Amino acid sequence: MPYHFVATHRVEFFETDLAGIVHFANFYRYMEQAEHAFFRSLGLKIHGSLPDGTVFGWPRVSATCSFKSPAYYEDELEIGITVQRLTQRSLTTSYHIQRAGVSLAVGEMKTAYCVIPVGAKLESAEIPSEYFDRLIALQQSSDEV
């Protein structure tokens, strides 16, 4: 079974229309916020700089979201993340957004580890061992369950 992480989010009024229904684009934000919480839970960053000034990050290669039911102002959402695939250069995660057990949306994001060396352009790179080892260990530990 793949590793699973859950983040929570309370819907704010500014995320909704005047009827209090969440605008669909915010579901992508919820996925991204949960992704950041997932990385922080591992003691990792989604974006930063290396000692030589190289900037690193995880730009999206693809992102999808299928909507099943609306979310509303003040809803307490659970955003579940499952690590689906890990390669030397990319990470694919799936998302299940729900409210009190009601499925609201499912999505998936594929991200690539990239660097921007000082004075150079964005380029794909191998995931550093600090990240890769923690992510692969999660998958292995969940396989043992």
The CATH number for 94's domain is 3.10.129.10
Q: What is the pLDDT of residue 137?
A: 86
pLDDT tens, position by position, 74-113: 999 999 999 999 999 999 999 999 999 999 999 999 999 9
The residue segments making up the domain with residue 17 are: 4-143
Summarize the confidence of residues 117-126 as an average pLDDT. 96
Indicate if the pLDDT at residue 139 is higher than 80: no
Q: What average pLDDT does the segment 119-131 reach?
A: 96
Q: What is the pLDDT of residues 12-54, one digit of tens each?
A: 999 999 999 999 999 999 999 999 999 999 999 999 999 999 9
pLDDT at 2: 65
Token look-up 């919480």 returns 37
User: 17 burial class (0-12, 13-18, 19+ CB within 10 angstroms)?
Assistant: exposed
User: According to the model, what pLDDT value does residue 4 have?
Assistant: 85
Structural domain total, the chain = 1
**Percentage helix, strand, coil for the chain under 3-state DSSP, each rounded to 5:** 25, 45, 35
